[in-house]
Amino acid sequence: MEELNDDELQDLLSGDSISGNNELSEKAVSDLLSYQDLFSTLKTAPQTGLPLSFASNVRRTLQERLNRKSDMRFNVMAVTIFVLSLALGYALLQLISQTTADLILNMVFKFKWLLFSIVCLFFCVLAIDQRLVRRDY
């Protein structure tokens, strides 16, 4: 079969009786039958089943789940660190100067909605950034 080119192979395959051909060896006949089976299999439509991208879809879904969990931990940790640093800063300021700490606390209460809006804006930008970034693994 190795010495046949594509045209000769196609001529032999288009013939009706491959097994009745006396000038071919048994190996050549079995190779031709294998080629014929291969071409008939390739002509049939693929069977329905799992899509070709099933494995990558499962992997992407699992990775997105892990990313969501990781992002949630990061957000909780960022909020905790922010609140603890403010509380620690106020406590240290309280130890250093009581009047300055009261002045800062009054200013925070006076501009509480502005400060709250700035903090919410920071965490919203952080959340949007985490959603927009596409990670390829």
Among 102-106, 114-118, 124-128, the minimum mean pLDDT is found in: 124-128
Nearest residue to 17 (alpha-carbon basis) of 3, 4, 36: 36
Taking only the tens place, the pLDDT of each residue in 95-105 is: 999 999 899 88
So what's the pLDDT on residue 88?
Answer: 94
For residue 10, count other CB atoms closer than 10 A to its CB. 13
Q: 128 falls in which pLDDT band (50, 70, 90)?
A: confident
Q: What is the amino acid identity at position 67?
A: N
Mean pLDDT of 5-18: 64
pLDDT at residue 37 greater than cutoff 90: no
Residue 129 and residue 122 in contact, taking contact as beta carbons nearer than 8 Å: no
So what's the pLDDT on residue 49?
Answer: 77
